[in-house]
Amino acid sequence: MASLASGSVTTVRTWYEWVNPFRRRTCKLVRATINTMGTIANPIPADAFGLTEIEEVSNMVNDDNTLIIPTAVSYDRSKVVTMLVTNATDATRGAPVDLANDTYQFVVKGR
């Protein structure tokens, strides 16, 4: 089981959004080098981004702009889950998949 380490993540920019008058969430534009990760068994965890909980994640784009990866937040809000639709069949459509080795850019929001 491989997990994304914080050393594989570069924060490009950080900003904050107010969820309500009493709580703000951290937003980060990140670049991550991902190698065979994206499923629950090989997670992209919140702590790799300096967060304890993920509330929202954007789609990922690879460094040569040839691949866009749909993403979701895991049910327990502790991980980013990825889906590769190009290889999906009726049996696997919507199932999480580990991504091939590449560098991806995306936005992650949480606390």
Topology of the domain comprising 6-110: Immunoglobulin-like (2.60.40)
Q: What is the pLDDT of residue 14?
A: 98
pTM of the model: 0.90
Quote the tokens at residue 7.
């050393």
Report how far residue 21's alpha carbon sits from residue 18's, in angstroms, rounded to the nearest whole number. 7
Specify whether the CB–CB gap between 95 and 102 falls below 8 A: no
Q: What is the pLDDT of residue 1?
A: 62
Going residue by residue through the chain (111 aa), what tens digit of pLDDT does each one get? 689 999 999 999 999 999 999 999 999 999 999 999 988 889 999 999 999 999 999 999 999 999 999 999 999 999 999 987 766 677 777 788 888 899 999 999 999
Widest pairwise Cα distance in the chain: 45
Domain layout of the chain by residue ranges: 6-110
**DSSP code per residue over 36-82:** SB-SSSS-EEGGGGT-S-EEEEPPEEETTS--EE-EEE-TTSSEEEE
